[in-house]
Amino acid sequence: MAHGHHTPVTASWQATRSQPLDQENTMRRLLFLPFALAACSAETVTDAPAVAPPASVALSKVGVEHSITGSGLQEPNPGFKYSLELSVRSDASGKVSGQLHAKALDLTFFGLPAGTSELVEEATCLRVVGNTAYVGLVVTKSTDPATFPVGSLQVLWMVDGGPNGADIGHGPTPAAFNDPAGLICSDTPPPLPADGVTHGNFIVR
């Protein structure tokens, strides 16, 4: 065998192999690049500070959903006059709370003796449709239990006439006469008299 200069086999193999390895590594980097970019993008989105919901949204979940507040005097007929003050509200879950304070100033229209009776009533339900409120009530205190028994049910409805309009409504009035079916807070409340409110104002929300 002739003895000439030969390139070492190992060196030649390494030189030959280095080019495919470089190409393979380059391809791997290119394939990995989209995943790396996606990961960076995901980290950016995940790490971004959360934007708090508007205050109105938070309040709507836990705050007051509907309400009627105000006071006034009603005199539907001569010999029938009363004053009332109420604050009733419901939250987003439907829970109702609030009271009504009423003074029967004159009930001689009904043949009752002249005098003043006072009532405290707790709200049992509230339904608001636009600017109109329907309220169910139960008497919890009465200075004339013979006429207004404790535990008796009453109803009220009121239309908020706005800043320049007149409020109209009726109540509190015995549910036994005006709402025997207990529909005051339903989709079909009973028709009730529409009496004007004087010396006061009611706000329905």
Q: Tell me the CA end-to-end span of the chain in Å, nearest whole number.
A: 110
Strands annotated E in the chain: 64-77, 80-91, 96-106, 117-129, 132-142, 153-159, 168-174, 195-196, 198-204
Same domain, 83 and 125: yes
**DSSP secondary structure string, 36-75?**
HHHHHHHHHHHHSPPPPPPHHHHHHHHSEEEEEEEEEEEE
- The total of structural domains in the chain comes to 2
Both 174 and 101 in one domain: the answer is yes
Same domain, 67 and 47: no
Contact between 120 and 141 under an 8 Å Cβ cutoff? The reply is yes
Q: What is the pLDDT of residue 86?
A: 96
- pTM of the model as a whole: 0.68
Domain that holds residue 99: 59-204
pLDDT of residue 83: 95
Query: Side chain identity at 161, as an amino acid letter?
Result: G
How far is the C-alpha of 144 from the C-alpha of 176, rounded, in Å? 18
On whether both 129 and 184 belong to a single domain, the answer is yes
Written as six digits, the tokens of 119 are: 């009532």
Query: Distance (Å, rounded) from C-alpha 121 to C-alpha 188?
Result: 23
Per-residue pLDDT of the chain (205 residues; tens, 9 = 90+): 444 444 444 444 344 444 444 444 444 443 333 333 333 333 333 343 344 444 334 444 456 799 999 999 999 999 999 999 999 999 989 899 999 999 999 999 989 888 889 999 999 999 999 999 999 999 999 999 999 999 999 999 999 999 889 999 999 999 999 999 999 999 999 999 999 999 899 999 9
Domain check: are 71 and 26 in the same one?
no
Q: Decide if 2 is inside a domain.
A: no
